[in-house]
Amino acid sequence: MALLEVNNLCIQFGGLRAVDDFNLTIEKGELYGLIGPNGAGKTTVFNLLTGVYRPNEGIIRLDGEDITGHRTTEINRDGIARTFQNIRLFADMPVIDNVRAALGGQYHYSLFESLFHVGKYKATEQAMTERAMSLLAVFHLDQYAEVMASNLPYGQQRKLEIARAMATNPKLLLLDEPAAGMNPNETAELMDTIELIRDKFDITILLIEHDMKLVSGICEKLTVLNFGRVLAQGETKAVLSDPEVVKAYLGES
Ligand SMILES: Nc1ncnc2c1ncn2[C@@H]1O[C@H](COP(=O)(O)OP(=O)(O)OP(=O)(O)O)[C@@H](O)[C@H]1O
Ligand SMILES: [Mg+2]
C-alpha cells in the first residue's frame, strides 16, 4: 500500500483553479520532489494535504486512511508534519523550547503535578529535554539550544523548523523550499541532512524546491506542476529530460 495516495484533488479560489485534478502516489520511504514555476500551486498542495484548505474535490489517503477534510491538528496526529516556505518559528523562544513545544502532545502530567513540580513532573520534563536535545543533535543545533531562535542564521532556522517538525514523529514530512535563502555550502549540508533523517527515522519525504541541484541530487521521483495541473510525473531523470518540462519550467530558469 502506498503511504500517500491523492486522487483528483481540486481547489478553486474565486475563478482560479489553483490545483486541478491533482494525483500523486508516494510509496513508503521515498524521497519525492514537487517542482514547478512560481504560482504553479505547489504550496497550495501542501495546504490541502495538511488541512489548511479543504479541497473542492478529491481524496487524500495516508496509509490507507481517508484523511480528506481532517483538521490540521488531526492530520499532524495522523502522521503528516510540515515546514513553511516563510519560516514560522517561535522567534522569541530559545531553540530548545521550539522543539519542546512540538513534543508537548506526547508527554503528559497532571495540572497538579505541574503546579507543584511533584509526581511525574520532573521525570517528564527531563525526558522532553533529552528528546529535544537528541533531535537538535541530528541537525547539529544542540550547541545553540539556549540561543533565541531569531538569533540563529537563516540556514540554521530552516534546519530548526525541520527538527521541530520531526518532533511530532511524522510518517510523512513535507518540506516547502527548505533550501531557500541558503548558500551552496548550506544547501549541500541540507541535502545530507534530508537523506540522513529519511534513513535514520525511516520516514517518507515530499519536498518542494527550486534548487535543481538539490532536486536531482536527492529526489527519486518528481511531479511537475504547471498552472495547477500535473505536467509530468515519474523517475527524476526521465521527468527532467521531458521536453514539456524543459519548455515550461527548466528552460526559463
Ligand atoms: N488563499 C488563497 N486565495 C486566493 N488565491 C490563492 C490562495 N492561495 C494560493 N492562491 C493562488 O494560487 C496560486 C498557486 O499559489 P501557490 O502559493 O500554491 O504557488 P507555488 O507553486 O507555491 O508558488 P511559489 O513557487 O512562488 O511558492 C497562485 O496564483 C496564488 O495566488
Ligand atoms: Mg510556494
Span 12-41, pLDDT tens digits? 999 999 999 999 999 999 999 999 999 999
Measured from the alpha carbon of residue 176, the closest ligand is: 2
Better-predicted residue by pLDDT, 107 or 192: 192
Q: Please report the pLDDT score of residue 112 as a whole number.
A: 77
Better-predicted residue by pLDDT, 219 or 116: 219
Phi/psi at 227 (nearest 5 deg)?
50, 45
Query: Under DSSP, is residue 27 helix (H, G, I), strand (E, B) or coil?
Result: coil
Distance 104 CA to ligand 1 centre (A): 31
Q: Please report the pLDDT score of residue 167 as a whole number.
A: 94
- Which among 160, 188, 158, 163 has a CA at the least distance from the CA of 173? 163
The Cα 211–Cα 116 span in angstroms is 51
181 pLDDT tier (thresholds 50, 70, 90) = confident
Quick: pLDDT tens for 75-95: 999 999 999 998 889 999 999
Which residue minimizes the CA distance to atom 31 of ligand 1?
39
Walk across the sheet containing 31-35 and list its strands.
80-82, 172-176, 204-208, 31-35, 221-226, 229-235
Residues lying with their CB under 5 A of ligand 2, a single-atom ion? 42-43, 85
Ligand 1, CB within 6 Å, residue ranges: 13, 16, 18, 36, 38-44, 85
Which residue minimizes the CA distance to atom 17 of ligand 1?
43
Q: Could you give the residue ranges of the DSSP H alpha helices within 201-250?
A: 212-218, 236-240, 243-245
Mean pLDDT computed over 198-203: 92
252 pLDDT tier (thresholds 50, 70, 90) = low
124 pLDDT tier (thresholds 50, 70, 90) = confident
Quick: pLDDT tens for 90-115: 999 999 999 999 887 777 777 777 77
The Cα 162–Cα 201 span in angstroms is 13
Mean pLDDT computed over 192-203: 93
198 pLDDT tier (thresholds 50, 70, 90) = very high
Mean pLDDT computed over 169-189: 93
Distance 107 CA to ligand 2 centre (A): 33
Residue 69 scores a pLDDT above 90:
yes
